[in-house]
Each structure stands twice: as C-alpha cells, then as structure tokens.
Amino acid sequence: MLDTTTNAKAEVLLGRLGKALEDGDIDAAVAMFATDCYWRDLVTFTWNIKTVEDHDGVRDMLTRCLATAKPRNWRVADGETATEADGILETWISFETDVARGYGLVRFRDGLIWTLLTTMAELKGHEEKSGFSRPLGAKHGVNAGAKSWKEEREEEARSLGYTTQPYVVVIGGGQGGIALGARLRQLNVPTIIVEKNDRPGDSWRKRYKSLCLHDPVWYDHLPYIDFPKNWPVFSPKDKIGDWLEFYTKVMELNYWTKTTAKRASFDDTTKEWTVVVDRDGQEVVLRPKHLVFATGMSGKPNVPKFKGMDQFKGEQHHSSQHPGPDGCKDKKVVVVGSNNSAHDICAALYENGIDVTMVQRSSTHIVRSAPLMEIGLGDLYSERAVKAGVTTAKADLIFASLPYRILHKFQKPVYDKIRELDADFYAALEKVGFKLDFGTDDSGLFMKYLRRGSGYYIDIGASQLIIDGKIKLVGGQVDEITTGGVKLDNGREIPADVIVYATGYGSMNGWVADLIDRATADKVGKVWGLGSDTPKDPGPWEGEQRNMWKPTQQEAMWFHGGNLHQSRHYSHYLALQLKARMEGIPTPVYELQSTHHKG
C-alpha cells in the first residue's frame, strides 16, 4: 500500500517544479533547489552527461537548455513510493521532454531539491521493440518468395560494410563494444563492431588463466539478458568469454572478428569517417557517420622504459600479455607492480610452485572481497538487494544519483567500517612491509577507480600469501634492469628469469593517436578521471568521467567502456545519443567538455 502522505508531499513539490519549468520561469525553478544542490543529467536536458552544482549551475543549464527540452508531466513514477528519513524525502520520478521520456531520482531536503538525477529512458517514436511491442518473428499468411530469418541475417552480413554502410563503427569487441552493439541493434542503428581476435570473448580468454572477475554477478549483467540464476558470484575469465560469444550471437550483432582497424579520418565536409580495416587479410573501407572507441577504459598497456631493459637475458612482458604460470616452471619471476593484476599473477605463480617476488613501488589500497561485497555493495548488488526489490537497473540509477562531488562522503564511512572490521588483517600486511592506503581522503576503492582507474586490489587470497611470505615482497623504485634481474634504487638486485610489468594502462586517447593522428588525440585530451586534483587525476574539476559516453571535442567520435557495470549502464545513454543523431533529432550539447590534459 502506498504511503499517501509522503507521495502527496512529493507530488506537490514535483508539481511546483514542473509548473515553473513549463512556464519557463527559471527564477521560480531555481528557487526550488537548495543552495548546495546537484543536478546530474544523463542526456535529457543537456544532450550530454553533465552535473551542475549550486544555484548558478542550475540557472545556467536551464537558461541554455529549457527552451529546447520543454520538460513536462513531472510526477512520482508509477508504482513507486516516496520515502522520508533523516529529513530527506526521496522518490523515483518520471517526466517527459519534447522528444523523450525521462526517469530519475530526486532527494528533497527541507522542501528543496538537494540532488536530482534525470535520465533519458527512450526517444518518442523510436522506442525499443520489447514486451507487448516485441517483433512477431513468424511471417504468417502467404508470402511468396519471402526470406527466412536465417536468409535475412546472411544477406545483412554480406551487404553491411560493402554495398551498404553502417551508421556506427565500434572499434573494440570486448564487453563495452558488445553492450553498445546490443543497444544500437535494438534501436535499429546499423553498426559494425571491429574486433582483432578470432572469437568474441577472446580478450578474456587470452588473459592469465587464474583471472576471475572481482565484481559480483549482480553488478555485471549485460543489457537485456541477465546471467542465469546459477551463475557463480565471481566469474572465471573463460566463462565470461563464452558468455560474451553466446551473447553476441543471440543478440544478432554484426561482429567482425579477425579485423584490425588500420587508419581513420574524418571529413568535415561530408561529416563522414573513412575507416580502413584489415578483415582477415582483406582490406575493407568503411564509411560510418560515427566512430566509437571501445578499446578498454584503461587504454593502451603502459609498458615502462627502464634503463637496461634491452640487456635483460630472460623474458619480459606487460601483464596484459602474461600467459600464466605454465611457461614459468623452475624460473624466478619478478612482478613489478602491486595492484589487482600483480596480486592475481603472483598468487597464480605461487600456487604453481614458482618463486615469485612482488616489487611494490607505491602504496596500494587493499580491501578484502567479503566485506566489500557485504558492506560496500550489498545494499545495491546482491541477492539480498534483489530480494528487497532493488533490481540491477534501479541499483545503477541509485549509484548514478550520488553526485561525484560528494560521493566520497558516502564512501568514507564504508571503508572506515571495513578498516575497523579488518584491523588485524591490515596490521599483518603492514608488519611485512606492505604500504597501504585508502585513497587521498580515505574514501576507498570506488573513488580510486573513478578518479584514476588504478591503485587498488580486491583481495581474494593473495594478501595472505604476502603476509605468510609465500609471495616475496620488496619495496622500492626500479633503478634499472640488469642482465639477470631487477635492480632497485636502494642498490638491491632481485634475480629474475622472467619480469612481468604489472604497470597499468595509459589513457584511451592513445588509440586515437595510433589510428587517426596525434593532433586529434590531443584535441580530445585525457580520457577518464573526474578532475579531482588527487594523484593521477589532475584538475580542474570536471565532475564526470572525462570524455566517456558523451560528445568529445572531435565531432562524431566517442569513447565507451569501463567495467561490466558501466558498459551496461552507460551504453544505454550513448546509444540514445547516436540514435537521435541518425534520426535527425536536434541534439544541442550543453557545455561540451574542455580539453585540459593531452593524455
């Protein structure tokens, strides 16, 4: 039964906001917001992914967007119940703009809007065919010469990219490219996904054999098809690879394997890309209107350039190329780095009886998997959350509704509690010399991920191996690589037959420099980070992930990716932006992101 008191209160406030917006009364609308307010818009008003802050930010956005958005019908979403606790009135909302239907979440404090999330749910007249509107499939009646579904798919595969051109080309066929491809398929946007590997999922299969997702299954669903109910909480890499291959097939994606993008250029006159690819030995020229880089959130492997690397007599490679322990039998291995990949690789090597040493160059945030799942994620992504009615879609929106400017304030108590719970664990790590941190402001894993995409490890066992001395730990900076090992700045030399550089990745715009040119990469600038002015996330404050899932300084070029959760969630908004452009719907972008860093 609905709580009519809180719902009525929310309806009154939403009605007041809606009237001000429909009347074009910006002063009245701004007065509905608290002085320390945050409005995060995913496409509906701004045709961007943008957070505005305080009265000045709200006023500026409305001044420039209200006349084109024409919002109306603000109300508590059907079937939802407003809640009130600790002075905060919170409710799911629905609304419309001139071209779209919207959904969101608002929090009122003392009758004023504190946080507001507005998201584009669908474009009017271009809704996805699902539920009652799903395609019939069967062709009933007499249809002389009609082609079967199989024949139609085969014809599409033969023609797209040859006699007909895709509207979108996606470079990269991992989880990001696949999720976006599925969204675009449902919106009837002709798309080709270009993947260098032999099969969908190979980007997972080719990683070290012990690799397993550290995020839980509820966090990792792909669009439209959830993992089965009996899927493991943490997915082994080959299982994920097989799922991606299955998904690509059943979602009917135009997925070009054994295909490498060689070069690309944009014609400012025709507003068209020329993308030259090698498809299994054949050069094909594609001419899409939009180009999406889905080459991995972290971009290109960051292979260090240490003095003496050219004289090392053993094998050395980046962690992204690490084949696993099988080729390391009876060898001494040194892993340079102390984040997720480094820990996983070291643990797998030890488990296979191999002498392994981890070189920690800087402090690392460690959080054990169990408390992270229970305290950090349990309210949103868990069986407990599902039972409480928190679907994955709702969980995504709840997380999206927390402004990045203040998200660390919500995160810090979580990690304070974890630190208290696991005090003995952390003391044991520090006792053996492991350098720990919880982020600049003690806000933990998610803020580190959002700000820099590195600097952490979700512990699934390797930390205890370090505590027990089974994974040897050495701290210091690498001074040089010798013929037989790694020499640190303190003069110590660690013998090695194999060196693994678990040294992370560079910005995604490195792929732009390779495929297009350095000038375009520099025009777009750094990809990822919030501008928090914390280590590896230089300011100024952006308040959103730089260049991700939204228009960039290079016309008709986009970036997509992140973890499975982000690939799922943000593919929806990127797909809608691309669909609107294909249909000729005006998409005036509010505050196209400035370029402050080249990479």
322 Cα distance to chain centroid? 24
Tell me what pLDDT residue 496 has: 97
Residues 38, 51 contacting (CB under 8 angstroms): yes
Residues 478, 303 contacting (CB under 8 angstroms): no
Distance CA 59, CA 71 (A): 15
How do the pLDDT tens digits run along the chain, 599 residues long?
A: 445 689 999 999 999 999 999 999 999 999 999 999 999 999 999 999 999 999 999 999 999 999 999 999 999 999 999 999 999 999 999 999 999 999 999 999 999 999 999 999 999 999 998 776 777 666 656 576 688 889 999 999 999 999 999 999 999 999 999 999 999 999 999 999 999 999 999 988 887 777 788 889 999 999 999 999 999 999 999 999 999 999 999 999 999 999 999 999 999 999 999 999 999 999 999 999 999 999 876 567 889 999 999 999 999 999 988 888 988 999 999 999 999 999 999 999 999 999 999 999 999 999 999 999 999 999 999 999 999 999 999 999 999 999 999 999 999 999 999 999 999 999 999 999 999 999 999 999 999 999 999 999 999 999 999 999 999 999 999 999 999 999 999 999 999 999 999 998 888 888 999 999 999 999 999 999 999 999 999 999 999 999 999 999 999 999 998 999 999 999 999 999 999 999 999 999 999 989 988 76
Tell me what pLDDT residue 327 has: 84
Distance CA 471, CA 464 (A): 9
Tell me what pLDDT residue 201 has: 93
Distance CA 581, CA 290 (A): 10
**What is 157-300+506-583's CATH topology?**
FAD/NAD(P)-binding domain (3.50.50)
Q: What number does CATH give the domain 309-501?
A: 3.50.50.60
What DSSP string runs through 104-143?
EEEEEETTEEEEEEEEEEEETT-----GGG----S--S--
Q: Alpha carbon of 73 to those of 8, 16, 24, 48, 97: distances in Å?
A: 15, 11, 14, 22, 9
Place of tokens 């943008």: 50
Residues 342, 176 contacting (CB under 8 angstroms): no
Q: What residues pair up with 485 in beta bridges, in sequence order?
A: 482, 495
Place of tokens 């920690």: 360
Tell me what pLDDT residue 137 has: 65
Tell me what pLDDT residue 3 has: 55
Sorted by where each begins, the domain ranges of the chain are: 1-123, 157-300+506-583, 309-501
Instruction: Write down the pTM of the prediction.
Output: 0.94
450 CB contacts (<8 Å, ≥6 apart)? 404, 407, 529, 530, 545
Relative to beta strand 332-336, strand 498-501 is parallel
Residue 318 in 3-state DSSP? strand
Specify the DSSP element, H or E, that contains 64. helix 54-69
In CATH, the architecture of 1-123 is Roll (3.10)
Residue 312 exposed, middle or buried by CB count within 10 Å (0-12, 13-18, 19+): buried
Max Cα-Cα span within the chain: 84
**Two tokens at 23?**
């009347």
Nearest to 111 by CA among 7, 12, 20, 2: 12
Distance CA 367, CA 416 (A): 11
Tell me what pLDDT residue 523 has: 95
Domains 157-300+506-583 and 309-501 share a fold: yes
- Amino acid 358 reads M
Specify the DSSP element, H or E, that contains 393. helix 392-400
Distance CA 258, CA 379 (A): 41
118 CB contacts (<8 Å, ≥6 apart)? 39, 40, 41, 42, 44, 45, 95, 102, 104
